[in-house]
Structure 1
Amino acid sequence: MEQASLATKTSGNVIRCRAAVAWTTNAPLSIEEVEVDPPKAGEVRVKIIASGICGTDNHTIEGKMKTPFPVILGHEGAGVVESIGPGVTTVKPGDKVLMFPLPECRECFYCLHPEGNFCEKEDIISPTGLMLDGTSRFTCRGKKIYNIMGTSTFTEYTVVHEIAVVKIDAAAPMDTVCIMSCAVPTGFGAVFNTAQVTPGSSCVVFGLGGIGSAIVMACKASGACRIIGVDINEEKFPRARALGVTDCLNPNKLKKPVQEVVKEMTGVGVDFAFEAIGLIETMVAALKSCNRSYGVCVIMGVAPTGSQLSFDPLVLLPGRTLKSSVLGGYKTRDDIPKLVTDYVQKKINIDPLITHRLPFPKINEGFRLLREGKCIRCVLSMRP
């Protein structure tokens, strides 16, 4: 009733609320009052309840990702529908929803293909920072503010396309399932869908942050007998071991390349390798860590815009496979609500991935924890 009353008061009107605006790269986010326009046709305005801080957000702040500024970042969001634009049929005011950085239009070739999920209406590869009609729904200090991947969840209210939002289980705790917008499906899907890790296999995971930790949990659930974790921040090692890592390596303390050490540890290299950092050198190291005959390497990390991946093709010739996927290959609106319900029904547990919770105004502290490697996932609460 409270949400319905709110929608009646605000529907069709501009909403003024708090948002964390990135005015430029390599600078703290600024808590500002912004104006959020009503949703247009095919759009949904959402009251954000909770949002996770992802490494991709930090890459954008550092200028490694091609994104127009000023921008409202954030793409791991859970909230409640405040109002809908003309033509919206799949959600209604009051629904609990997740928003996704990868839409599912259910019409393009990739959405219709059983194995595809990289919707043609994505705003990831060559981001415009605008809605599909080429305009913005955010204004601050009289200036147009861009969005990130069609989501922008570091704000009390946002506007997203209907194709990037989905209703979820009403019993879902918003301040936990928000990370199912990115970290959980990206990590779980890399293991279950893209690599298809087998029982008794060996794995190596480069990067033990949020996505890397989700990968570790999924490898363990798949029955991997050995999971090697690689990171230069050894403060992450105790948490990684608790999640399932059997061996930890710090490349900065090794006398030879990490891929050679992995080969020595396993005899012939691992069956499955995962890269969740986003550096060219670690992508190549992950590939070379694989068993050369049937090893599978999955790249989940996002490299800086304009990077070039280079290696001798002979690395692949004996039979190695190099793969990647976005959001773990899941069709976002069709598949991820089922993961949320699995969590509600205690079939899966994602609680260990959230190590810190902060009120929204402390967002810059959350980014500090991320950069220092002190958290797996920090979740921001939008409640006053």
Structure 2
Amino acid sequence: MAATEGKVITCKAGVAYEANKPLSFEDIHVSPPQPTEVRVKITHACICQSDLYFWKGKDTQKLFPRILGHEGAGICESVGAQVRHIKAGDKCIPVWQCECTKCGKCKSSKTNICDVFMFNWGSGLMPSDKATTRFTRVEDGKPIYHFFGISVFSQYSTMDEACIAKINPKAELHKICLLGCGIPTGVGSVWNICKVHPGSTVAVFGLGTIGLAVVEACKVSGCSRIIGVARDAGKLQRG
């Protein structure tokens, strides 16, 4: 049992208070998990273009203050009373595209945009009650909004149990954090959307994280020819 279990944790987080303004790296309070929630010690986090999109205030909600970040990895610190699939000490990946597994869209082979957890995207609130957050300011106790239900730009983050994936204890967290968004986006594009067949010729435009994940998935799929298109000559050379 962690010494912090059941207690409010004070930790550092990057808080976005306004669009296009530098994040404020400050102490915040992170509440313990409710019965169906998990609190995670975030060890590694990546920056994705989607984070920048919301930081710039291009989304319709424009929720501030907010803790961004949706691509990371960490270690489970504590769990709610009803959580069974993960325990304190387990390595894990926060999952922003989580699924209830029961709604029509979760059961469909055509989409994975869950009706239940779609709520996470825009509200900035916890799915368990759709009314509160687990982040508060130290100075005045005012709430700080969540981002995509996971907010990994914080040293600790509380999220619904559906938003967490237990991983192999031997996994290297500084590498596996890319599985939070970039790599599955690229791999899923090849396997689930394009359904690339062995022997195919594929052109990949852009060789960033997602593009390179597409290349790797094409290799696994048995493509006979993969053409990389990028403006950065260094990426072409490294590939």
Query: Does TM, normalized by the shorter one, top 0.5?
Result: yes
Aligned residue identity for 1:70 = P
Contact persistence 2:125–2:146 (CA under 8 A): yes
Q: Pairwise mapping of residues 296-375 of structure 1 onto structure 2 (< 5 A)?
A: none
Q: CA deviation at 1:115?
A: 4.9
Corresponding residue for residue 24 of structure 1 = 18
Q: Secondary structure at the match of 1:176?
A: helix
- Listed as ranges, the matches of 1:219-230 within 5 Å are 219-230=218-229
Indicate the residue corresponding to 1:306 in structure 2.
none
1:34 to 28, 31, 34: 28
Distance (whole Å) between structure 1 residues aligned to residue 119 and residue 70 of structure 2: 11
Q: d(CA) in 2 for partners of 1:127 and 1:106?
A: 20
Counterpart-to-counterpart distance in 2, 1:159 and 1:125: 13
The equivalent position to 1:100 in structure 2, one of 95, 107, 120, is: 95
- CA shift digits 1:247-268 (9 cap, x unpaired): xxxxxxxxxxxxxxxxxxxxxx
The reply on whether 1:135 has 2:127 as its aligned counterpart is no
- CA distances 1:97-118 after superposition (whole Å, capped 9, x unpaired): 1111111212222223355422
Deviations 1:350-380 (A, max 9, x none): xxxxxxxxxxxxxxxxxxxxxxxxxxxxxxx
The answer to whether the 8 Å contact 2:124/2:148 transfers is yes
The TM-score, its normalising length taken from structure 1, stands at: 0.57
**Aligned twin of 1:64:** 58
Q: Provide the rounded CA distance (Å) in 2 between the counterparts of 1:74 and 1:124.
A: 17
Contact 2:120 2:149 in 1 (8 A): no
Match of 1:242?
Answer: 238
In structure 2, the CA distance between the partners of 1:40 and 1:156, relative to structure 1 (3 Å rule), is same
Is contact 1:81–1:95 with CA below 8 Å preserved after alignment?
yes
1:102-156 alpha-carbon deviations (Å, 9 max, x no partner): 1121222222335542222234796111111121110123231111110100111
For 1:1-384, list aligned pairs within 5 A: 4=1, 7=2, 9-66=3-60, 67-123=62-118, 127-132=122-127, 133=129, 134-140=131-137, 141-142=139-140, 143-231=142-230, 234-235=231-232, 237-243=233-239
Q: CA deviation at 1:14?
A: 0.7
TM-score by length of 2: 0.89
In the TM superposition, residue 23 of structure 1 has moved relative to its aligned partner by: 0.9
Q: Which amino acid aligns with 2:102?
A: E
* Larger RCO of the pair (alpha carbons < 8 Å, separation 6+): 2
Please state how far the C-alpha of 1:191 moved relative to its aligned partner: 0.5
Moved more, 214-223 or 74-83: 214-223
Q: Secondary structure of the equivalent of 1:10?
A: coil
Q: CA 1:25 to 1:206, structure 2 compared with 1: closer, same or farther past 3 Å?
A: farther
Deviation at 1:42, TM superposition (A): 0.6
C-alpha distance in structure 2 between counterparts of 1:114 and 1:60, whole Å: 29
Distance 2:155 2:86 in 1: 19
Quick one: percent identity of the two aligned structures? 44
| Stretch of structure 1 that moved more, 118-127 or 205-214 | 118-127
* Contact 1:105–1:121 (Cα < 8 Å) also in 2: yes
Residue range with higher mean Cα deviation, 159-168 or 204-213:
204-213
CA contact (8 A) 1:123 1:129 kept: no
Pick the structure with more helix per residue.
Answer: 1
Change (3 A) 1:123 1:30: farther
Q: 1:265: which partner in 2?
A: none
User: What runs of 5+ residues in structure 1 fail to find an aligned partner?
Assistant: 244-384
Match for residue 286 of structure 1?
none
Alignment deviations for residues 290-319 of structure 1 (CA, whole Å, 9 cap, x no partner): xxxxxxxxxxxxxxxxxxxxxxxxxxxxxx
Would the aligned equivalents of 1:77 and 1:98 in 2 still touch at CA under 8 Å? yes
* CA gap 1:210/1:65 in 2 versus in 1, 3 angstroms: farther
The alignment's C-alpha RMSD in Å is 2.0
